Chains A and B, each alone.
Chain A
Amino acid sequence: MEKMTRVSAGLGSASVAGKTMFCHLDAPANAISVCRDAAQVVVAGRNIFKIYTLEEDGFVERLNLRVGRKPSLNFSCADVMWHQMDENLLATAATNGAVVTWNLGRSCRNKQEQLFTEHKRTVNKVCFHPTEVHILLSGSQDGFMKCFDLRKKESVSTFSGQSESVRDVQFSMKDYFTFAASFENGNVQLWDIRRPDRYERMFTAHTGPVFCCDWHPDDRGWLATGGRDKMVKVWDMTTNRAKEIYCVQTIASVARVKWRPERKWHLATCSMMVDHNIYVWDIRRPYIPFATFEEHKDVTTGIVWRHQHDPQVLLSGSKDSTLYQHAFKDASRPIDRANPEGLCFGLLGDLAFAAKESLVGGEAGRKPYPTGDRRHPIFFFKKPDVTEQFAQVSSVLNVFESPAGGGGAAGLMDWFVQTAQLYLLSGKPFAELCDHNAKVAKQLNRPQVSTTWTMLRIMFSEPANLSSSSANHNFSKLGTLPLMNSFSMKELSSVLNERNKENRQDNIHSLETNINNNDVENEETEGSEGQAEYVFGDAELDDDDLYSMEHDNQTVEEQDYALPQEAFPLRHEIMDHPSAPEPLEKAESPHVSGSEAESVCVCLTPSESVSLISVSQLLFPPNLPPPFFCPVVKEMLSYYAEQGDVQMAVSVLIVLGERIRKEIDDLTQEHWYMSYIDLLQRFELWNVSNEVIKLSTCAAISCLNQTSTTLHINCSNCKRPLNNRGWICDRCHQCASVCAVCHHVVRGLFVWCQGCGHGGHLEHMRSWLRDNTHCPTGCGHLCEYT
């Protein structure tokens, strides 16, 4: 009874004194535990073992348990636990394998009561029975769990985990006899304390060690486990097979997990490495932590809720030698800083957009899917729980994809045929070929291919070539160049709050990655060596700034890059972007007009655009040697070939010619050529196929034109085969192929009637048959010329 009153008093004080405070310890802490009355906390570590009292405005050291001249390894604690029934009783797990109990009621300085040295290896965990005073459980590296009755000198029972190290043991809060043990091999076992011979149940919870587990304080069937695989999982143990009901993915291996009192869905975690924060998760929203405590400077090793009925105060010990009390009201809430909208360009010109459902789903009237678009709602939450002060977020993800695009993903091969016909592979200067092909690709809605051509042009054009041709002409053509992807963001809501800025930042990032992908080459040209630079325009950076940069450049390399300002047609560029943006615009417009507060409108209208990003070929130093790019281009070609777009690979190969040919081995080249030619012939693009064969530099390919080019002909007089020469018969010594019109021997194209066998020069026959219908020889046959 007396105890009970103290408890309530303790609770009262705890809820009053719940402010964030800390104190320095002398040494790193390994574990902490709190007394039942929530007024004292014990800190244990390799070189520390102290009890602190929690005062209203700070920690006060009450007792140092580490006594003796030369403290033994028994003081080197891996874990500590304060008994939840008896406030004088403590237990520690020592790194040398000892389990020690301490009685604070002892009058002498040394409070050590009992020492159990039964474990052979480090003891990782000790745990008192929640309701039974004398029962203590330990779990050790040697794979054994031992149950001690504190009235006896030895363990009463030993549980073998089959030689796998035990990382954590926890008595069930509700079931008197049950405890859970987690193991280094990823298993979790349930034991009945009365049956040491065999576990009740075992299941694999994680890959790699399970560092911790915790029973839900209210719900008897729930067990939370945390492992090295960076996951926290919540298991429902009431069913026959343990069922994973929730899973939280954290960013580092999970060292401790503790359910938050009085909050059914909340649990706190801290990590073992790298990440120093303490997170409180709502398990129903596993993506963003509910609250974060960021005070520690080194990894947090122990967390405990100060009072088992007070959800507001959390205590933590850390390797940075501090002990903290965290008040929940001071926690940072990542959700407040999180950006609820996301926008990202795909590699092939697709666009994904995620936003709160209320923003997107609100417009009932709008036509949900503009042509060719797909919409995937990916996650949403169930009905909001009113008791929680918790922002329930449902989001919708839209993916817009350009209907014709995707490099023929739709199965239509029109693009292939058109590309094949429209591409120019030779006959013009390199730069023009590239430009032309880029334009073709763009018209066919293949932005990636188009960009590739453009990049190639930039890479391999000699600066000298650039300057030689008229600069003006050159750059107006290149107008499409400097901006590879640009979009504008227009702020509708008058409040430009932080979130929006972040959003924008995100977008920039997404673009950045997008660009990288687009370029095929990534880091290598991406400015790491100062050889190529992209300007990532900040939102604040207006056009003038951009221009001024160009001006700078201009002065440096005046001759090469004299450039009128209007050669940067940002707006046109945006307009030029094919169908991808348009559906988006449509999709968003209703809600733009709705102009809800907080909404970030993404629109691609060219008006008032601020260029967020521009890639300018001007910034390339003119002296960059083209061979520098060869490895990149080589990879690019292989990439296209692997993607099935062998057309691109071969076209680039031909256009680049000597520039790249040596980089790719002949066999691959041949393979590509063969595939492409085969494709072309299937589409009956004979001319293109022939052109490709002709332009190919592979011996094996160009000889394709030479095969089956033999015509076996018979003499038109004696009907015998003409073997040696085509125009004179060995047998009858007559000129076989005499033109029926001019009576000269025909060399070159000889056209003849298949009916009568007479013929002659193509031109002569054509003009003859224009006026006559009979054979020119007068054989009386009605020849037809088609």
Chain B
Amino acid sequence: MSVSADGLASSCSCRVCSVCQKTLCDKEADICIPGHYTPGPSSFIPEHEIIEAWSVEPWPVDPHTELLLAEFCSPSGRLDHLTQVMGLHPHYLQSFLRSQVYLLRRDGPLPLHYRHYIAIMAAARHQCWFLVSLHIQEFYRLGVCSDWLHGLKHANQKLRNLNDLNKILAHRPWLITKEHIENLVKTGEHSWSLAELVHAVVLLAHFHALASFVFGSGINPETPTPTSTYCSCEINGNNQPEQDVLLSSSPESELECLMERMKRLQEEKEEEEATEEEMFTRFEKEKEESLLVGSGVFNDKVTLSSRVSRFVEDDSFGYQDFARQGEDNPPTFRAQDYSWEDHGFSLVNRLYSDIGLLLDEKFRTVCDLTYYNMASHEGVDTSMLRRALFNYVHCMYGIRYDDYDYGEVNQLLERSLKVYIKTVTCYPERTTRRMYDSYWHQFRHSEKVHVNLLLMEARMQAELLYTLRAITQYMT
């Protein structure tokens, strides 16, 4: 059977963002230019910035990582765009590659082709063609079961069973219950062992989160496809909607404001303490506000191109807000009762040895990563900002930290940033260049990539926490 990786790719329509669609309708003109392609790894970040980061001498990564890089990139002979962009933060890249190589290449409960197929399934939920194509190639290279690439329907029952977990995990992880786990694990012809399941779950979470990163940083596809993943209006960088101008009075003051607020919060900490009720309401408020943020008009259905959609079943299942007004909300997840450090780690490491250590290192790296810089300012302690970003993502997923004052989120994260965060984590496929540009005008691109890393890891951890808790419940 001759199935080529790219041969399956059928023609797909050009992507047009909602704003442009409107203008298109207004003007009734066809200005969509197929074949437009921005050079470089990312369509958001100028190429030269990334190249500069890579040409730093000495390259601040130990030889071991270079080996990993070499291994990972050998098929194509060059670094993929994702790695290039992530290379803006070499420290993180190191632990990222280590865990990814371990997940995909090293000893583990799942056979190699399963791993790539799961990666395809996960990325396809977010229509991330970049990752899907990458892993189609990898899968194809393994040379087994290549007919699976025709779509999920052609895969074996065992993997199809995973689809349910995949879609919930991708869009509404809080709905995962031990029944889902039970269904997969219960004895039968196509049952999963717990170790396999944990491997699969880590893979799913990893690639869901990675899809967020890909969209959040505007990673370009490896091969210039006739249709860009991003709408042409974003690429051209023009067509700045006027609302942005209204939002921030002046870019300079924006940064100053943020610094000022951070300082004030630091001081406030010492003096005043909010009462319980206030803390609770603050969390609730953040949670509810996150609904309003960005979840405006999604009348436009993002049309799935068939090359991705064949790996997706039940594509109507999408993101819904954790807290929805006037409905029975699922109970808040208390981080203190099921934390990654105490519980998640132990479970993961027990069922799939050593991955716990790698993930732990990755989470730790991303949380501690700092250059003590904020835009042009140096020597700034950004821990508060980083924590706010991390916890805000968890907040949207309904995970609450008892010891965190969610008022800080409100102070530190401006609305346009919140919109961006929500889009990137919850429905990354809707990310636009405009969103990327609309927050933190002063900041460097590498800092925005840093934000993306935080979002990605926070999302991954949230997904893992929910699933691992369900597995724990299943086991007890």
Partners in one complex: yes
* B114-169 CB contacts (< 8 Å) to partner A: none
**Which chain A positions have C-beta within 8 A of B273?**
117
Name the distance in Å between B451's Cβ and chain A's nearest Cβ: 22
Does the CB pair B269–A120 fall under 8 Å? yes
Q: Does A253 contact B (CB under 8 A)?
A: yes
Interface-located stretch among A272-280, A353-361, A662-670: A272-280
Interface-located stretch among A72-80, A216-224, A339-347, A642-650: A72-80
Does the CB pair A274–B475 fall under 8 Å? yes
- Identify the closest chain A residue to B472 (Cβ): A273
Most buried by A among B269, B342, B343, B347: B342
Known: A74-B276, A95-B403. A272 touches B336 (CB 8 A): no
Does the CB pair A253–B276 fall under 8 Å? no
Cα–Cα distance between A211 and B343 once the two chains are bound (Å):
12
Most buried by B among A209, A273, A298: A273
* A62-85 CB contacts (< 8 Å) to partner B: 70, 72-74, 76, 78
- Identify the closest chain B residue to A529 (Cβ): B189
Does the CB pair B347–A273 fall under 8 Å? yes
Known: A76-B402, A95-B336, A122-B336. A274 touches B346 (CB 8 A): yes
**Which chain B positions have C-beta within 8 A of A46?**
334, 336-337
Name the distance in Å between A30's Cβ and chain B's nearest Cβ: 9
Does the CB pair A274–B275 fall under 8 Å? no
Name the distance in Å between A522's Cβ and chain B's nearest Cβ: 14
**Which chain B positions have C-beta within 8 A of A96?**
276, 279, 402-403
* B312-345 CB contacts (< 8 Å) to partner A: 334, 336-337, 341-343, 345
* B350-406 CB contacts (< 8 Å) to partner A: 350, 357, 360, 402-403
For the complex, would chain B's binding face be called helix, strand, loop or mixed by DSSP majority?
helix
Name the distance in Å between B406's Cβ and chain A's nearest Cβ: 12
* B185-220 CB contacts (< 8 Å) to partner A: none
Q: How many residues of A contact B (CB 8 A)?
A: 32
- Identify the closest chain B residue to A209 (Cβ): B341
**Which chain B positions have C-beta within 8 A of A74?**
276
**Which chain B positions have C-beta within 8 A of A297?**
476
Q: Does A252 contact B (CB under 8 A)?
A: yes
Does the CB pair B403–A122 fall under 8 Å? yes
Cα–Cα distance between A49 and B92 once the two chains are bound (Å):
43
Q: Does A208 contact B (CB under 8 A)?
A: yes
- Identify the closest chain A residue to B360 (Cβ): A208
Q: Does B300 contact A (CB under 8 A)?
A: no
**Which chain B positions have C-beta within 8 A of A76?**
336, 402
Q: Does B57 contact A (CB under 8 A)?
A: no
Does the CB pair B346–A95 fall under 8 Å? no
Does the CB pair A252–B346 fall under 8 Å? yes
Cα–Cα distance between A74 and B275 once the two chains are bound (Å):
10
**Which chain B positions have C-beta within 8 A of A120?**
269, 403
Cα–Cα distance between A70 and B84 once the two chains are bound (Å):
52
**Which chain A positions have C-beta within 8 A of B280?**
73
Q: Does A184 contact B (CB under 8 A)?
A: yes
Known: A120-B269, A273-B343. A72 touches B276 (CB 8 A): yes
Cα–Cα distance between A78 and B343 once the two chains are bound (Å):
15
Cα–Cα distance between A695 and B396 once the two chains are bound (Å):
69
Does the CB pair A228–B345 fall under 8 Å? yes
Known: A46-B334, A96-B402, A297-B476. A211 touches B275 (CB 8 A): no
Cα–Cα distance between A786 and B281 once the two chains are bound (Å):
109
* A293-329 CB contacts (< 8 Å) to partner B: 297-299, 320
Does the CB pair A274–B336 fall under 8 Å? no
A-B contact number at CB 8 A = 70
Does the CB pair A73–B269 fall under 8 Å? no
**Which chain A positions have C-beta within 8 A of B346?**
228, 252-253, 272-274
Does the CB pair B269–A72 fall under 8 Å? no
Q: Does A97 contact B (CB under 8 A)?
A: yes
Does the CB pair A78–B336 fall under 8 Å? yes
- Identify the closest chain A residue to B338 (Cβ): A273
Q: Does A366 contact B (CB under 8 A)?
A: no
When each residue 255-297 of chain B gets 1 if its CB lies under 8 Å from chain A and 0 otherwise, what string results? 0000000000000010001011101100000000000000000
**Which chain B positions have C-beta within 8 A of A298?**
476
- Identify the closest chain A residue to B275 (Cβ): A72
Most buried by B among A96, A117, A298: A96
- Identify the closest chain B residue to A76 (Cβ): B402
* A661-716 CB contacts (< 8 Å) to partner B: none
**Which chain A positions have C-beta within 8 A of B345?**
208, 228
- Identify the closest chain B residue to A70 (Cβ): B277
Does the CB pair B402–A95 fall under 8 Å? yes
Q: Does A141 contact B (CB under 8 A)?
A: yes
- Identify the closest chain B residue to A71 (Cβ): B276
- Identify the closest chain B residue to A631 (Cβ): B144
Name the distance in Å between A92's Cβ and chain B's nearest Cβ: 13
* B454-476 CB contacts (< 8 Å) to partner A: 472, 475-476
Name the distance in Å between A33's Cβ and chain B's nearest Cβ: 19
Q: Does A634 contact B (CB under 8 A)?
A: no
Known: A72-B275, A73-B402, A276-B476. A184 touches B336 (CB 8 A): no
Does the CB pair B403–A141 fall under 8 Å? yes
Cα–Cα distance between A95 and B275 once the two chains are bound (Å):
14
Cα–Cα distance between A591 and B472 once the two chains are bound (Å):
49
Selected from B279, B350, B360, B403, the residue in CB contact (under 8 A) with A274 is B350
Cα–Cα distance between A585 and B132 once the two chains are bound (Å):
62
Does the CB pair B350–A273 fall under 8 Å? yes
Selected from A95, A184, A320, the residue in CB contact (under 8 A) with B341 is A184
* B422-448 CB contacts (< 8 Å) to partner A: none
Q: Does A285 contact B (CB under 8 A)?
A: no
Cα–Cα distance between A141 and B404 once the two chains are bound (Å):
12
Could you jot down 23 A-B contacts, CB within 8 Å?
A: A46-B336, A46-B337, A70-B277, A72-B276, A73-B279, A74-B276, A76-B336, A95-B336, A95-B402, A96-B402, A119-B403, A120-B403, A122-B402, A208-B360, A228-B342, A228-B345, A272-B342, A272-B343, A273-B343, A273-B347, A274-B472, A298-B476, A299-B476
Given contacts A70-B276, A122-B336, A298-B476, 13 further A-B contacts (CB under 8 A): A46-B334, A95-B334, A95-B402, A96-B402, A97-B403, A122-B403, A141-B403, A273-B342, A273-B343, A274-B475, A297-B476, A299-B476, A320-B476
B-side residues, CB < 8 A to A, are 269, 273, 275-277, 279-280, 334, 336-337, 341-343, 345-347, 350, 357, 360, 402-403, 472, 475-476
- What 5 pairs across the A-B complex have the smallest Cβ distances? A72-B276, A95-B402, A273-B346, A96-B402, A95-B336
